[in-house]
Structure 1
Amino acid sequence: MQRRISLIPQPQQLSAAAGDLDLSTLDAIAADPELHPLAWLLSDLLNRGTGLRLAVAGPETGGRVLRLRLEGDRPEDLTTAAEAYRLDVTADGVVLAAAHPAGISRGIATLRQLLPADALREAPAADPVVPLVAIADEPRLRWRGVMLDVVRHFQPKDFVLKMIDRAWLHRLNVVHLHLTDDQGWRFEVPSRPKLAEIASWRAETKIGHARDEAAGYEPTPHGGIFSVPDLREIASYARERHILIVPEVNLPGHARAVLAAYPELGAGQDKPVSPTFGVFEEVLEPTPEALDFALEAYTAVAEVFEGPFVHIGGDEVPMTQWESSPVARELMEREGMEDVRGVQAWFTKAFCERLTAMGKRVIGWDEILDGGAPAEAVVHVWRNEAYVKKAIAAGHQVVASPEPYAYYDHYESDDPQEPLRIHGLTTVDKVAGWDPVPPGIDPDKVLGIQCQLWSEYLPTPRDVEYSAFPRLSVMAEVGWTNLDVREANPVQDRLEDHLERLHAMGVDYRPPTGPERWQRGGSGRRTRFNWTFQEHEAE
């Protein structure tokens, strides 16, 4: 009996014929030379999950094959046309065609979902059988990402690689790494050894919610740092799958870890790496030394991650320190600034100039709009959709991650057994109903969407997985699939089948019926903590 075809995200066009194709009856994977890395990756994955080993051959190979083929004019990177593909599975073989290798990569992700769910396991557990289908597909939005916060709780390199794979399976194309914050610094900068010695770890960590002052602290050091070879491995792993890594070095605020290592870059505060969570007044001072430090940090990540974007952060920058700073006052007088917010705009402009000279494009949180962000900067909206409109009105392209829809550190339900989260409520149904392009907005200005996995209350990979899935799966469809196709075939109707894939991959997802007993918050440090979430208002 033929299996029901159930894909997430749903392709734009799909037609099925009766019957299946056993891939073990094929002779080889026939691929254009440029596609051989993807062909061998596909061969390895088929072998891992089904035991089938298909050799990779040249494009001239005839007979019954799984053919990967480039056709048509080559589109530019990070366009929907670059990720478009056509996948035909017939009784005679498989043809996967695209104009760009990225499209072939997205088609391979779809082909993997056509296999039985158990083919996604780490050892042979399924037959290599796929249904006969014809698929023509292209994403709705150019940027479809997931952000991993490896700062608040360090997530090991192996888990980062797993999340790249999971992004790939869902046809996402961006993994954003949040690498610096008040609670730690997570990548090596050889010219700044104190980042590894001091800024990469904290002496203790807040127990429970940061607002629960009575809960105290766990006096166990916490930290971790990615070496340069670690970063290169992450970059290479993502590149093989045509996933863009966007590194974030969050400045000039959220700088407690930096200033613990190099207090001279601030106002001389002698404070340790923060053991708790929130927004802190310590920021970089607007000095040449602070800009030099930022350049060294941005250069370190830009040299490893070859993509066009570097994220400068720029969110939640308190003005308190600058309001009383002689250095900031002198800058304001020299530059003719009427408001202290101009100091942040000065930082943003300087970061943009230096990164542009390195061939990079800046992306920053929506606070960079304060005082005027450079026109070439992409604005990453986190507060709400009103800021999408505000950024576009100011002439910027936007990545939309509005907190009510895209923050998966919010509670999954009203269930009192949900494990500790920061606040809020973001259900699967709420994500499924989201249209990230507000009415009256030019769709070309919305570069794309991204979900956020802030890790203040996600201490382990299992916690991250529970928070991410299946909401990330649903968000992937929001970014990929056109509205009419989504409405005709609701993603909720396909989730049960998709959870079998997540289970086969070992993902500790949240079941639709609520948390399993071992996933519940209980009555200890992971118990649910409620306080009212109020949506931000646009200024």
Structure 2
Amino acid sequence: MNGQTSLQGWTIIPMPQTMQHKANIALLPMCGRINEARAVGDDRHILAVQLIDDIRAATGLEWDIATGDRWPGFITLTTFDDPHAHPSGAYTLDVTPDGVTVAGADFEGVRNGVQTLRQLIRQCGAALPCLHIEDRPAFETRGYYLDVTRGRVPTLDWLKHWADKLCLYKYNQLQLYIEHTFAFDSMSETWRGSSPLTPRDILEFDDYCAERGIELVPSVSTFGHLYMALRTQSLRDLGEFPETADEPFGFIDRMHHHTLNIGDDHAFALSCRLIDDYLQLFRSNKFNICADETFDLGKGRSKPLADRIGVAAMYADYVTRLCRHLEAQGRRPMMWGDIALEHPEILDRLPETVTLLNWQYDPQVTDEKIRTVAESGAKQIVCPAVWCWNALLPRIDDAWSNITRMARYGRQYGAQGMLVTDWGDFGHVNDPRMAIPGMIIGAQESWNPGRIPDEADMLRRISQLEYHDASGELLDILTHASHAASFEWNHLITWLELDDGQGGVNTGVLQTIPGLLPENERPDDVIRSLQNESKTPSLAESRRMLLRYLKHRITLGETADHLLQASARRISAITATAGPRNAGNAAAFRIAVEGQRLLNRVGLRLASETGITDTLQPNTTSQHDDEANLAEALEIWMEAYATQWSTVSRDSELRRLQDTVWKLTDHLRFQSV
């Protein structure tokens, strides 16, 4: 590949395996035609329409579509003469002054070549560089995993928009994470108030994805992560700890206490019912039963069974029964691999048909767990993350490190593919648009891992192609802005949820404090206080302990504010040059940056009022005035945030996020009285 073609005017993501760039320019005709062969298998000519839409957007010209040898087009979409000689997804692209040809091994191959051509048209308009590309994917499965359950249920329009974006970057699989946000029959107590997806939504979206070469794979929690279901009157008796079902809702509790009591036969009936109802809506022959993070297994009502046969055997037996249930219906089971890796003896007991989704999110992840699964002989897909959860701003550095390492290990140990995960813990405060950089990094690494070894280069390419930023600086600015998060959303949630609802301390939340910082940043004196079991601290003491734990970061708030202000100005200037097509991203960036500025101020204020620091915000007449002003600023920000929420998401759990902010503002105003 000629490196000079990458950032001097245009770029292609994922970078092709081989590309020969020639000196000539191919000028698209004013009245052109796309000829798409019937053999491509694109019955509704979606690929041709994609090209026509991009040609219109880039040039204002209207093109025609035809098929057959009597209707030649300047752009030809066809299959290889000998498709079996090429791997699935492979394609060639030839751009010459006399015409453009995309040829693929199959529908997916032609689709992939069309996406490359679309990227060129978006950047070059009617004057395309002449070139020859021969390309194929490194991983057969290039998937994306989208959380649509922990607070934010996207609109169907947004899901389709996201599928279009995944298609553009050559993903071929999508899974939607469901706990309680699907309208299962006879389970309205579980999904009420969540703006759930419906069978009609899934049928329509499954068709939409399939037409774009994306397999929509069903994924439902069937073992753990059933928090909302196990709080209902109807199903609470199936949980390990039904006595906790009436405790106040907690974002943190939702992440930790949610496991079925599989010693009760009714639990298996519930799991099978979820599977059987949901799978009928999908054309895919795969099904993800999830089965991750079963933290409470064997600790509550199933403890007698655990004492008798052990937790590992309980887990292996249950997921095996679920897998066999799927196999009997001609489906190929998938499941998360974390519990099996905690108890490696489970690996030898799993059915041969199951694919382990091996999630590892540490930016400095090693190959240990990937190697363990490979040595067991089990099939696996490696699963990194876009690193957006629990925060307003994306941690792009962490996403880059995590995704590139996992792609390398996946290739090294023969993984079937990569599934890039996008989570929304703690109410899904992260705007879905914050995940775009990580998603595109995942696209590059699942197609051609290691080809772009430098993060800065990758971010310049994404800035240019996705955000129409000629300077290539946008994502570098956003990355540095994320480093200025001194008091984050999960810190606020922890501070609030230390209150057990009765003025006492939620000891479960108290125990999560060490996980808020990396090991090398944890203050030893606070850790010792947290480990002191002689007495439970009061709520005030617990909150003070939290703020002491975070003090080093919190005190950076004022310095961080200058960086965030500068970032907001630079991002606004860059996104303005892209015009209306970037307006949604511009708004999302602005809301995220301004929200983080306010959270940083909150951290300083809470630390100041408890005596952890004596730092006050500049330009305030008094502490009381500052607290009232901060409360008002947060409420105004939340209105703007809610407006942006509605552009991409259903109401879902927006009210929980609003209540979180309002609890904080009520506290601030109380302090100012």
Please give the range of the TM-score, normalised by the shorter of the 2 chains. 0.7 to 0.9
Give distance in 1, aligned partners of 2:257 and 2:67. 58
Does 2:476 align with 1:512?
Answer: yes
SS at match of 2:24: strand
Give distance in 2, aligned partners of 1:438 and 1:512. 27
Q: Tell me the equivalent position of 2:457.
A: 493
SS at match of 1:310: strand
Does 2:449 align with 1:479?
Answer: no
SS at match of 1:255: coil
Q: Is the 8 A contact 2:11 2:465 kept in 1?
A: no
Q: Is the 8 A contact 2:139 2:417 kept in 1?
A: yes
Does 2:408 align with 1:387?
Answer: no
Structure 1 residues 434 and 255, CA gap change in structure 2 (3 angstroms):
closer
Q: Tell me the equivalent position of 1:366.
A: 337
Whichever residue aligns with residue 48 of structure 2, its letter is: A
Does 2:251 align with 1:276?
Answer: yes
SS at match of 1:514: helix
Structure 1 residues 281 and 116, CA gap change in structure 2 (3 angstroms):
closer
Name the larger-Rg structure.
2
Structure 1 residues 233 and 135, CA gap change in structure 2 (3 angstroms):
same
Does 2:61 align with 1:87?
Answer: no
Report 1:241-390 matches (<5 A): 241-261=212-232, 262-267=235-240, 268-269=242-243, 271=245, 274-277=249-252, 278-280=255-257, 282-319=259-296, 322-325=298-301, 329=304, 338-367=309-338, 369=340, 370=343, 371=346, 372-383=349-360, 385-390=367-372
Give distance in 2, aligned partners of 1:186 and 1:379. 24
1:255 shift after superposition: 1.3
Whichever residue aligns with residue 424 of structure 2, its letter is: S
Does 2:62 align with 1:53?
Answer: yes
Q: Tell me the equivalent position of 1:210.
A: none
Q: Is the 8 A contact 1:109 1:170 kept in 2?
A: yes
Q: Is the 8 A contact 1:65 1:94 kept in 2?
A: yes
Q: Is the 8 A contact 1:30 1:67 kept in 2?
A: yes
Give distance in 2, aligned partners of 1:324 and 1:102. 48
SS at match of 1:83: coil
Whichever residue aligns with residue 471 of structure 1, its letter is: G
Give distance in 2, aligned partners of 1:39 and 1:310. 31
Report 1:21-40 matches (<5 A): 21-25=26-30, 27-33=32-38, 34-35=41-42, 36-40=45-49
SS at match of 2:353: coil
TM superposition score normalised by structure 1? 0.77
From 456, 469, 472, the equivalent of 2:425 is 456
Report 1:129-148 matches (<5 A): 129-148=127-146
Whichever residue aligns with residue 400 of structure 2, its letter is: V
SS at match of 1:81: coil
Instruction: Give 1 or 2: higher helix fraction.
Output: 2
Q: Is the 8 A contact 1:319 1:340 kept in 2?
A: no
Provide, for residues 57-100 of structure 1, a one-character-per-residue CA deviation record: whole Å limited to 9, x for no partner. 11313545211112245569xxx822111111111111111121
Structure 1 residues 150 and 95, CA gap change in structure 2 (3 angstroms):
same
1:380 shift after superposition: 0.8
Give distance in 2, aligned partners of 1:30 and 1:503. 30
Provide, for residues 33-75 of structure 1, a one-character-per-residue CA deviation record: whole Å limited to 9, x for no partner. 2333432343344335543332221131354521111224556
Q: Is the 8 A contact 2:381 2:410 kept in 1?
A: no
1:442 shift after superposition: 4.3
Provide, for residues 410-453 of structure 1, a one-character-per-residue CA deviation record: whole Å limited to 9, x for no partner. 79xxxxxx8478x99605366456643369x542xx01112221
Give distance in 2, aligned partners of 1:349 and 1:103. 35
1:464 shift after superposition: 2.7
Q: Tell me the equivalent position of 2:111.
A: 105
Give distance in 1, aligned partners of 2:405 and 2:375. 25
Instruction: Give 1 or 2: higher strand fraction.
Output: 1
Structure 1 residues 51 and 66, CA gap change in structure 2 (3 angstroms):
same
Structure 1 residues 54 and 61, CA gap change in structure 2 (3 angstroms):
farther
Give distance in 1, aligned partners of 2:334 and 2:222. 12
Q: Tell me the equivalent position of 2:170.
A: 171
Q: Is the 8 A contact 2:173 2:214 kept in 1?
A: yes
Provide, for residues 104-153 of structure 1, a one-character-per-residue CA deviation record: whole Å limited to 9, x for no partner. 11111111111234xxxxxxxx8433221111100011122222111112
Q: Tell me the equivalent position of 1:465.
A: 433
Whichever residue aligns with residue 433 of structure 2, its letter is: E
Q: Is the 8 A contact 2:56 2:62 kept in 1?
A: yes
Q: Is the 8 A contact 2:143 2:174 kept in 1?
A: yes
Report percent identity of matched pairs: 21
Provide, for residues 381-435 of structure 1, a one-character-per-residue CA deviation record: whole Å limited to 9, x for no partner. 1135322111122211111125xxx351379xxxxxx8478x9960536645664
Q: Is the 8 A contact 2:15 2:444 kept in 1?
A: yes
User: How many residues get paired?
Assistant: 469
Give distance in 2, aligned partners of 1:45 and 1:116. 6
Q: Tell me the equivalent position of 1:409.
A: 388
Whichever residue aligns with residue 56 of structure 2, its letter is: N
Q: Which runs of 5+ in 2 are unaligned?
A: 495-514, 521-673
Q: Is the 8 A contact 2:34 2:73 kept in 1?
A: no
From 5, 9, 18, the equivalent of 1:13 is 18
SS at match of 2:245: coil
Q: Is the 8 A contact 2:320 2:351 kept in 1?
A: yes
Give distance in 2, aligned partners of 1:492 and 1:4. 17
Whichever residue aligns with residue 409 of structure 2, its letter is: V
1:519 shift after superposition: 11
TM superposition score normalised by structure 2? 0.62
Structure 1 residues 435 and 154, CA gap change in structure 2 (3 angstroms):
closer
Structure 1 residues 519 and 308, CA gap change in structure 2 (3 angstroms):
farther
1:251 shift after superposition: 2.5
SS at match of 2:260: coil
Structure 1 residues 511 and 407, CA gap change in structure 2 (3 angstroms):
closer
Whichever residue aligns with residue 16 of structure 2, its letter is: P
